[in-house]
Amino acid sequence: MKNNPILRVISKTLFAPIILYGLYVQFHGDFGPGGGFQAGVIIAAAFILYGMVFSLDELKLLAPPSIVHALMALGALIYAGVGIATFLLGAEFLNYDVLADYPAKGQHYGIILVEFGVGLTVASTILGLFMAFAGFDIPRYSAREKDAKPANKAGAKSPKKRASDD
């Protein structure tokens, strides 16, 4: 797929709109269908498409694994941070009413922040899993190598079998 010019042009053209749609789903999740998980999957799909068309090495230049791992933790930290902030402001854990002057505004802010943390964690986790599986090299053996016994090193003696080994 790396050398197909049609796939390269289409994937480069669709990369930004896919991410934009993911952001739309992210920030409209409190008003309708969508939210952090769905948005995270959509955003990760844009990066996976890029990696499948251009190569895993190109994807790692676009999204370095160290950054992807940091974003996994940052999303969870945002989620937990919102809960701790509500607790420190005198309410129950993840009770968003205390995040603003009016409870309805606080609910809105809290949901957006928590969903952003979820989206960040989901997108980076799925992207990290794709990078791990795509970069995994499966050793391949021919039938001759598989049936052959490993050669003994020159001069090394085979270990003697002891009676206690049975």
pLDDT of 152: 57
pLDDT of 153: 56
Q: 134 φ, ψ to 5°?
A: -70, -30
How does pLDDT run across 45-85, given as a tens digit for each residue?
Answer: 999 999 999 999 999 999 999 999 999 999 999 999 999 99
How does pLDDT run across 28-47, given as a tens digit for each residue?
Answer: 877 778 899 999 999 999 99
Measure the CA–CA gap between 161 and 157, rounded to whole angstroms. 12
Higher local confidence (pLDDT), 40 or 2: 40
Distance in angstroms between the alpha carbons of the first and the last residue of the chain: 54
How does pLDDT run across 103-150, given as a tens digit for each residue?
Answer: 999 999 999 999 999 999 999 999 999 999 998 877 776 666 655 665
Burial 121-138 (b: 16+ CB within 10 A, else e): bbbbbbbbebbeeeeeee
* Of 129, 112, 143, the residue nearest 31 (C-alpha): 112
pLDDT of 34: 85
Q: What SS3 state is found at 135?
A: coil
Identify the band that residue 86 occupies on the pLDDT scale cut at 50, 70 and 90: very high
